[in-house]
Structure 1
Amino acid sequence: MLERFTALQAIERHPLLAFFARRPVTVCVLLTATTVIGLIGMQLMPLELFPSGLESRSISVTVPYSRADAVSTPLSVERTITLPVEAELSTIPGIENLTAVSSRTGARFDIEFSGRQDMTEAYAQVTDAVERARLRLPSDTGRIQVRKSGMGGGGAGAFPIGFISFFWEDDVEDPQLKLENIVQTRLESVDGVAGVTFFGVTRKFVAVDIDRERAGAYGVNLAELMSRLRQDNVREPAGKVREEGKDIYLVADSRLKSVEQMRSLPVRPGLKLSEIAEVYETESIDSYVRVNGRWGATCMLFKSSDSNTVQVCDRVNEALAELAQDSRLAGFQTRVPWMQGDSIKESIVNLMSTLLWGALFAVIVLLVFLKSFRFSLVIALSIPLSMAMTLAVMYFMGETINILSLMGFTLAAGMLLDNAIVVAENVFRRGQLGDEPLGASIRGAGEIGLALVLSTSTTIIVFVGVIYLSGADFIRFVMSRIGIPVCVGLALSVVVALGVIPMAMHRFGMIGDRKPSRFRAWFIGLRQRITAALPGAPAGRKAALWGALALWEGASAFVGRQAGGTPRAPVIDAMAAFYERSLRLLVRQRYWVTFLVLGATFAGIPSLYLALQQTDQNQGNRDRIELRINFPPSAVIKYEALDDKGQPVIRRDELWKTYTLDELERTLWGLPRVERVTAEDVLALLASRGKTSPTNDEFMEAVSELRLAREPSEQAKQEARAQAFEKFGIEAMSISFSSRNARVSLFLDRKRLDQGNEFYKRIMAAIPERAGVELRGEFQGGSASSSEVSVLVKGPDSERLLEIAQDISRRMEGVRGVEGVRVDAEAGTDEVTLQLERERATAMNVSPDVLAQVLAFNLGGTALRDYQKGDNLIPLRVRFAPPRDARGNPRDPEMDDVGEIRVPGASGGAVAAKAVTSTSGLARPGLGEVRRLNRQTTLRVVATTSTEDLDRIRADVNEQIAGVRFPPGYSREFSGRFASFARTSGDMFTALGWSMVMVLLLMCFLFESFIKPVCILVVSVPGAILGGWGMLLATGTPNDSLSWLGLMILVGVVVNNGIVQVDLINRLRHDGIERNAAVIEGCTQRIRPILMTTLTTVFGLIPMAIGDATFVGTPYYPMGRMVLGGMMASMFYTLLFVPLLYLILDDAGLAVRAWAGTLFGSRRGGAPGVAVARSPE
């Protein structure tokens, strides 16, 4: 017999709940205040891509080598710079990985520390180690920089907040200087911008090419000439004088004002510099950039750590708008391929759309079950109220709105209704049982309060357990930031459910018998009118009436058929009746049904896991095409002069490079291939003009004339480019060229990716093959993520490593789904070893140091003080003029020229370099950089993959390279995405285990039982895993890090239905109902709230799970699909098998207690206060 409470009894038993139920004005004031604070906090909270607080475990050290551009190679830098610094750094405790990279310009070190290492102390230890190593480094080592790397803030290690491309018309003068002096200066002045890095920008320099023969004929001492040039180009303070009572500072200014003045510089009386040297402005270009078919440059923007990303990006956009109006930049155009602030705003729009649609779907579910707009809207208030109060709490916690907090809000949107639904259903049920409205509102909330606290705590404890017990720093950080809106929101939804919902139901008259609404009365009368009109209606109208009647029957299944009382939904009522009959049947066969289903579930989970594609991160839609072209080792970009417009003049032996660029652009835009200019064509043209022995300049002019005549017009190129942009949805294109490689980036319209995929296939098939030119392409997507996988090869010798890596590369080419395999060894300049013959050098009094200096100056020259040209400082470099061929044209130095260089001896004479040196013979390819990992030289074998199934690819690669033979001291390991995937998988399994343990312990604590929590956890969680992975498999979604996070969240969510189910069964048994009857009655009463809570959560997740929605390029639908599938499957498992396992475990407990009573002489029939009588089965 169920006990009924009066309002006074309910108030005495639950005074806190009665306070809220009896004071609606107070509750409304509190809700209004917290909501307003939350909305204000939302406006004031900063927006950023990634939250701060994840302390980087990495420190970088950069050691520049000032002479590297002239005489150093990566191997020499490794020997003189890398090894001494590496030796000192390796003595620091707590280092997990020490990576060293040696290049021509210096060395770079990346130091990763373990999670337990204090990073402040580590930074100090790294600084001390660098200072100790500095004593062993050459004197011309540059300023060593030690930086902390990070994800969320600014600084060197931070991720850029934007990429900007600048390009200009061909008639723009000095574009590089304008970029440096106008654009870069303006961008760096933007508040919050920490740095601007340009690519493709080159600076002019003034070259002083000394004619070796003339200088020797005039007897010029080169050392005195260098000293004179240094002294004649200075501006220094000269002291202070006093005149008319004021101090006047004097400045001695002997700076050279122009190239003409430099040419007229007297070397000695009667001899000018122009008589022994050629002085001119030029450029030395190692790389260049073309944007949308024009010369251009690309820059990366970095923000300071304490600035807001969105605000900084808005200021940058304002600065770009100002620069667009600057008359000094006439002819310049700007494209912004990516700006982080815009991506954050887009994510917020996606979030708001997801929340609104999810809330709408949840309200529709409520309407279907409750058949009342007022009732549904009162419950639906839990979403905005809980979210607004959560925003207020986050504001005072100092949190920001970022990718992880937005993801947390999206996850919580559907869950915030659960507690309100359960409370409203129980309050409504108490009213139907005859309680007074006030008493029903208080008692209904009080009865369910403990179950709500327990079910909400299980979700919160999952986040708490992972945060404090997981061994992975990144997982702890992500779960903490996602967990703040989820945990705070769910906790506040309990407050709303217990304090606001009962009060609103009581005040709005929703408890007890209700008068039918006007809409439902009209709806019931509509059928009567349709039925009455059918007999005498004409044939055409009768068909319409039959259709209307069919619609009525469908709607009545959810709106209700009877005119008065509580509306009933036949479909849901029929489902409840069918469920009750099924449960009665299953209870009788509970043993074999439960063991069969749970056995099949536990057996199916591993099989389902193996059938899934496994990856570290889904890339989502691929919206960027990347083409990478590697040129032959002999390729060099050099420009000897500038034309009158400031554009570089390309030498004849570089025509093939420009031809490759033009050919590539023509292929991209679909222009017809231009016939190549041959030497025979040029000579024939010159012969027709009577020039049988043309000079180099005449030959070049003829080449340019023929190429220009055969090329499409500029207008035709622009039209073809515009048509390709429009046809294939291309938003921007950037091409960067260097001596070794080229990179083409095509940014696509995300709404037209099918056309972009077609374009990718077309250009990959259309680009012609060239000897020595390697082409690789990939269709990228996600948050700047790469589709590359790699294998790391380690060993002592670089040449042997290269051989092993090439063998692995050949074997990996046969793996399905792997494309563009290459050895990631940047090609360096071909090397010839010049060996000093010590006996001959000693005999001729030649010092090795003097030999090295003379060779370096002859081949590379030396830099002097910058030359002032107007407001610009231009570098000044003195060097010997390049040798000339038989026709007198300049050419590159050759080994024979090096051998003829005169080297002074100690006795005053000079000898040829070849007299004291010998060479290693033929040139061999050199490495552009040497990489070391944990004091071992390494090489990477890199491949592009078009599939997300990393687990399968790793297994196939491992099988293919199993036959590679490694000499002693050499080894290989998976790196990059392969390694991160392995670490992530292990961390996720560990975190999942901790989640289950924490949920089980919490339920044991609150239920004061070990049996009841087991029956919930053993049923709900495996069902959720099966449903979640089944949904991923059915939708073809790879299992990635976000889906794993969704699975961990499921562990704390799916037990909620079982908790309220078992809690009601316990209360019914406590009231004296027989055990089996209590199980059937409790489960039947809970089917409606379980259906409602599950379906509102599921429908709230549908916008997150469908389509290809992303957060800043990272797809989050795997998490939505995992939670959606897990919730649906767990609902069926909870409804059917939790009660069965509950009875089985209770039977086992009774048997154990009976056995213990027989053994120890004490017999108890059950636990105190719980009826354990069993009905016949």
Structure 2
Amino acid sequence: MKLVDVSVKRPVGVIMVVLGILALGFLSLRNLAIDLYPEIDLPIAVVSTSYQGAAPQESEKLVSRPIESAVSSIEGLETIQSQSQTGASLVFMQFNTGVNLDNALLEVREKVDQVKGILPEDAGEPNVLRFDPQQIPVMWIGLTGDQPEELQQLAEDQIVPFFERQGGVASVSIEGGKTREVRVLIDQAEMNQYGLNSQTIVQTLNASNQSASAGAIEKGKQDLQIRIDGEFESVEQIENTILQTETGAQVRLSEIADVEMTYKDSSTISKVNGEPSVVLSVLKKTDGNTVETADNVLAAMDEIEEKLPEDVNMKVVLDTSEFIKISINSVLLNIIIGGIFSVLILLLFLKSFRATLVIGISIPIAIISTFTLMYFTGETLNVLTMGGLALGIGMMVDSSIVILENIVTYRQQGYSMVESAKKGASELAPAVIASASTTLVVFLPIIFVEGIASELFTPLALTISFALIASLVVSVTLIPMLSSKLLTKPLQTSGRRYWFDRFLDKVNDLYRRMLRWVLKFRKTTIFVTLAFIAGSAALVPMIGTAFIPPSDQGQIEVSVKTPAGTALSETERVTEKVNERLDRYESVIETSYLTVGGGGFEGFSSSSNQATYTIQLVDPDDREKDTVTVMQEINDLMDDIPGAEITVSEIGAGLGTGDPVQIQINGPEYEVLQQLADQMVYMISNVEGVHNATSSTDEGQPEMQIVVDRDKAAQYGLTYQQVLGQVQLGFSGQVATRYRDGTDEIDVRLILPEEERQTIADLEGMTIQTPTGALIPLATVADLEQVQGPVSLLRENQQRQVNVSSEVVDRDLGSVTEDIRAELERLNMPDEYSYEIGGQAEDMQESFGDLALALVFSIFLVYAVMAIQFENFLFPFIIMFSLPATIIGIVTGLFVTGLPFSLPAFVGIIMLAGIVVNNAIVLVDYINIVRRRGVERYEAILEAAPSRVRPILMTTLTTVLGMVPLAIGIGQGAEAQQPLAVTIIFGLSISSLFTMLLIPVVYTYFDDLSNKISGLFRKK
């Protein structure tokens, strides 16, 4: 090859190019973003609409359905889901992978604008937003102090604005704080005595709190702006606001109401390690990087802590970047260990430090060159891309080993260093390029398939491809150049390592005897191979299937749910019992973050009957039990706490893929769906491995419905809106204006005193003021009914839906899903009702289908590349017979290690399709080289095959041992690569053995067939 000649003749040029690549690689590495997993592009839009006072049924009928109908015709729309709740509607739209979400959002806005006119007058403006299910806070920060009521203001005024200026931070939200407000507690009797109504008070307060400009006047040569400053400067000024009665009399606000500075009623309570706290949750920008954003926030914390009051403490509650850093460091450690293993194998085989250095130097060069390619293609340093480097650490030296081994052979035959480098590299360069090409092309289908599998593993495929391309270039340029300078003498064949040469000689003798036997009993060899394949196939049902192995982040979630309608204080009381149980695990719990209540998405009402603990355990090295064991023990402890439904679950490395099992039940009637869901929860709870089976149907929210008799109201001159407005003002209040205190804007809210709005009797006895000033009881124009209304209504693709979900513990997802499907087949579904199993089970099934298609195309591409390389259809077909034997290794490896067949394992099979043929390529190619020298076929096989044992053993051992650290699962975050590494290690090891024996047999069969065909043509 000319490239080999150039590299040998121009060593200085090669060295300068290498140094330039290394410099560029280090610069790229500094700028590469770090994350846990590659970003999964899920094009989802959401339309959020508030509809105050509306029940879920009304929100569904009057808001959700019209919006669903409007957007359903948008091109590329895959699924529509809606959630209708008291006072709000959410419509989610998931588009097909690859759809431009910016363009889709424009279309959604256009469609929503078309139906705005038919939405209820009381409905708010629909908001069209992006939605990212993976968008969870990067970090939670707790604030504690001696005066908790001042923490909210401190956070709003100083900390949040400072944090939001940091790089990568999108927004910072505050939970658990207290917000100031001015309450105007109206005395209805006094108000009515003066002939005033609430609207008059609201209008007067708003008008009295105004500043305005009134033009300008001249003063000498200056124009002075005239400004009338009438804004409230104190609570006393609010109290002294003058109200004008209908008779013309003037009344101060303090005469008909009590005005006080207080705090809004809390809808959430936040506690960190049992101590009341204000918690800041930091969200990163869509294109931001988790680790970089977290580092910026930590640096900002150090800077702002000096400016905080002495009694205020700021502490990181949870930091998602910590696990990412630990995981990346673990994979980096695996890369180093794998590289050391590979170098030791080389040293053992080559018996020369110089020869080992020639190949060993190619590893860092290939890795650093890969960083450059990753940077320019926009990839990140994550568990999968770094895992790709760890997996490829052994494969990187394969090409170099084959080239160097041949150069060494010529060197031992007496050729000079330069001639040995030229001849040795040029002779096997075509075979090496063919081998590397077959490994590279298997990744092309992964890049072009759709779905989660492609989103996750395309970066891994690109990383390994970059590494292999870099190592291939190194093998045909740098290796010959270094060999021509460093191999000053032939490798030693005696000395302290001679025992290994004798061992290899015995291996060669054994292999030669086995080779004679298999060539003599060819049919038996084929039959034994098929028997092993059939035997391994019988083990497949015992392995099971899974989606992606979850990463053990040491995080546990405890969800506490009291009966619907439970007050916030009562839910908090239940959490105190939970705290008592959690105290037993004080030694393994690092932080515990409790949220009681909490709002939903964009205006959804808060859930005072729910509380959530997010628990971070100490490092695995500091505890004896794994996260799953601790989770199950805590779950058992919580069983007997009365008055609440408590579920405990492990928080995995969230990929936004939903629950492991999710059963979606569709049908027209909500009540029937609820009954079916309850029945399914009962049925699947008996399936082994199912944990925390729950239904999305909540217990009905207790409601006191006010049914206004519009005819009676009209007799008193009242409209429905006037009655509704007075009730809302009395019980939830009405913001009349905003009072400025420094930079803060504080709501001024009109509301009844607390003692007048506590009981049903207070509601029934509430007086309604008519336009004439008369007072009538609410019961005169309205009936009160206590009902149980649904908390929320779900719909998918314009059909009502209820979901049943569960986690999977101590069993593989595929087996659990099959058992659930078998259980549900016994259920008699009513007409018009159906169900399907979704969640990770559905994602797994779809991903397996995508990867199966990718595998078929990969095998075809491998054959096509070899056919082009050999200019022959027959030899590649012979080589492809090394593939079936990989089944034996794959199944055996997963069965022995107890790992289920998962997406990473499937990707490992695709990689094997390109790796295992490499040994066969080298073997067949060298047999042909020997035969071209005039050696008879049988003798050519006996000469060529044993001579390839050394390079095949070297390449196989370096690849296998380079992956051993990942297969063992050293460190945190290695779970995702473990099945992939196990698949390749066992698949490559066992298939190499079969390749060495089976391929020569297959070669003879096809050579005989080729001779017969040639003979027939010659006769013609």
What is the TM-score with the length of structure 2 in the denominator? 0.92
* 1:930 is aligned to 2:916: no
Query: CA separation in 2, counterparts of 1:347 and 1:872?
Result: 43
Query: CA separation in 1, counterparts of 2:478 and 2:639?
Result: 71
* 1:617 is aligned to 2:597: no
Rate the CA distance shift 1:770–1:206 in 2: closer, same or farther, 3 A: farther
Query: CA separation in 2, counterparts of 1:278 and 1:605?
Result: 83
Which one-letter code corresponds to 2:138 in the other structure?
G
Instruction: Tell me the residue number matched to 1:62.
Output: 48
Q: Deviations over 1:332-358 (max 9, x none)?
A: 231241243x44433442233122111
Rate the CA distance shift 1:787–1:620 in 2: closer, same or farther, 3 A: farther
Match of 1:165 among 141, 144, 167: 141
Query: CA separation in 2, counterparts of 1:585 and 1:996?
Result: 30
Instruction: Tell me the residue number matched to 1:411.
Output: 391
Instruction: Tell me the residue number matched to 2:868.
Output: 1005
Query: CA separation in 2, counterparts of 1:88 and 1:1039?
Result: 43
Deviation, structure 1 residue 787: 6.2
Instruction: Tell me the residue number matched to 1:914.
Output: 779
Map 1:172-571; keep pairs closer than 5 Å. Answer: 172-268=148-244, 271-280=251-260, 281-305=262-286, 307-328=288-309, 330-340=311-321, 342-397=322-377, 399-468=379-448, 470=449, 472-510=450-488, 512=490, 523=496, 559-560=497-498, 569-571=501-503
Instruction: Tell me the residue number matched to 1:643.
Output: none
Which one-letter code corresponds to 1:418 in the other structure?
D
3-state SS of the aligned residue for 1:96? strand
Query: CA separation in 1, counterparts of 2:639 and 2:444?
Result: 58
Q: Deviations over 1:370-397 (max 9, x none)?
A: 2111111211112112223333444455
3-state SS of the aligned residue for 1:963? coil
Deviation, structure 1 residue 1083: 1.2
Which one-letter code corresponds to 1:41 in the other structure?
S
Deviation, structure 1 residue 166: 0.7
Instruction: Tell me the residue number matched to 2:605.
Output: none
* 1:587 is aligned to 2:456: no
Say whether the 8 Å CA contact 1:337–1:747 is kept in structure 2: yes
Instruction: Tell me the residue number matched to 2:726.
Output: 854
Match of 1:808 among 680, 693, 697: 680
Map 1:770-809; keep pairs closer than 5 Å. Answer: 770-783=641-654, 788-809=660-681
Percent identity between the two aligned chains? 26
Instruction: Tell me the residue number matched to 1:742.
Output: 611
Say whether the 8 Å CA contact 1:1108–1:1117 is kept in structure 2: no
Instruction: Tell me the residue number matched to 1:37.
Output: 24
Say whether the 8 Å CA contact 1:633–1:740 is kept in structure 2: yes
Instruction: Tell me the residue number matched to 2:813.
Output: 950
Which one-letter code corresponds to 2:30 in the other structure?
Q
Query: CA separation in 1, counterparts of 2:468 and 2:711?
Result: 85
Say whether the 8 Å CA contact 2:355–2:487 is kept in structure 1: no
* 1:1043 is aligned to 2:905: yes
Deviation, structure 1 residue 1102: 1.2
Instruction: Tell me the residue number matched to 1:577.
Output: 509
* 1:1163 is aligned to 2:1019: yes
Instruction: Tell me the residue number matched to 1:892.
Output: 758
Match of 2:82 among 93, 100, 106: 100
Which one-letter code corresponds to 1:181 in the other structure?
D
3-state SS of the aligned residue for 2:740? strand
Say whether the 8 Å CA contact 1:96–1:113 is kept in structure 2: yes
3-state SS of the aligned residue for 1:198? strand
Query: CA separation in 2, counterparts of 1:1125 and 1:381?
Result: 27
Q: Deviations over 1:774-819 (max 9, x none)?
A: 1111233334777653211112222222121111111122111112
Deviation, structure 1 residue 139: 4.3
Instruction: Tell me the residue number matched to 2:850.
Output: 987
Rate the CA distance shift 1:764–1:361 in 2: closer, same or farther, 3 A: same
Which one-letter code corresponds to 1:740 in the other structure?
N
Instruction: Tell me the residue number matched to 1:131.
Output: 113
Deviation, structure 1 residue 448: 0.7
Deviation, structure 1 residue 434: 4.6
3-state SS of the aligned residue for 1:178? helix
Query: CA separation in 2, counterparts of 1:82 and 1:844?
Result: 35
Say whether the 8 Å CA contact 1:21–1:502 is kept in structure 2: yes
Instruction: Tell me the residue number matched to 2:603.
Output: none
Say whether the 8 Å CA contact 1:163–1:298 is kept in structure 2: no
Rate the CA distance shift 1:827–1:185 in 2: closer, same or farther, 3 A: farther
Deviation, structure 1 residue 580: 0.7
Say whether the 8 Å CA contact 2:46–2:128 is kept in structure 1: yes
3-state SS of the aligned residue for 1:831? strand
Deviation, structure 1 residue 1152: 4.3
Which one-letter code corresponds to 1:1025 in the other structure?
I
* 1:86 is aligned to 2:72: no
Instruction: Tell me the residue number matched to 1:1105.
Output: 967
3-state SS of the aligned residue for 2:878? helix
Query: CA separation in 2, counterparts of 1:657 and 1:310?
Result: 35
Deviation, structure 1 residue 1059: 0.8
Bigger shift: 421-430 or 744-753? 744-753
Map 1:1132-1147; keep pairs closer than 5 Å. Answer: 1132-1147=993-1008
3-state SS of the aligned residue for 2:1019? coil
Which one-letter code corresponds to 1:591 in the other structure?
K
Rate the CA distance shift 1:296–1:1108 in 2: closer, same or farther, 3 A: farther
* 1:1116 is aligned to 2:977: yes
3-state SS of the aligned residue for 1:616? coil
Query: CA separation in 1, counterparts of 2:488 and 2:277?
Result: 69
Say whether the 8 Å CA contact 2:571–2:611 is kept in structure 1: no
Query: CA separation in 2, counterparts of 1:1088 and 1:912?
Result: 99
Deviation, structure 1 residue 1055: 1.0
What is the TM-score with the length of structure 1 in the denominator? 0.80
Query: CA separation in 1, counterparts of 2:48 and 2:724?
Result: 26
Query: CA separation in 2, counterparts of 1:55 and 1:660?
Result: 40
Query: CA separation in 2, counterparts of 1:335 and 1:430?
Result: 63
Size of the aligned set, in residue pairs, is: 1002
Query: CA separation in 1, counterparts of 2:3 and 2:689?
Result: 63
Rate the CA distance shift 1:511–1:101 in 2: closer, same or farther, 3 A: farther
Say whether the 8 Å CA contact 1:428–1:511 is kept in structure 2: no
Deviation, structure 1 residue 158: 6.0
3-state SS of the aligned residue for 2:825? helix
Bigger shift: 849-858 or 1084-1093? 849-858
* 1:1062 is aligned to 2:920: no
3-state SS of the aligned residue for 1:1022? coil
Specify the structure having the higher radius of gyration (Cα). 1
3-state SS of the aligned residue for 1:385? helix
Which one-letter code corresponds to 1:629 in the other structure?
V
Say whether the 8 Å CA contact 1:210–1:277 is kept in structure 2: yes
Q: Deviations over 1:942-965 (max 9, x none)?
A: 223213511111111122222333
Query: CA separation in 2, counterparts of 1:955 and 1:595?
Result: 34
Query: CA separation in 2, counterparts of 1:754 and 1:240?
Result: 78
3-state SS of the aligned residue for 1:626? strand
Say whether the 8 Å CA contact 2:317–2:593 is kept in structure 1: no
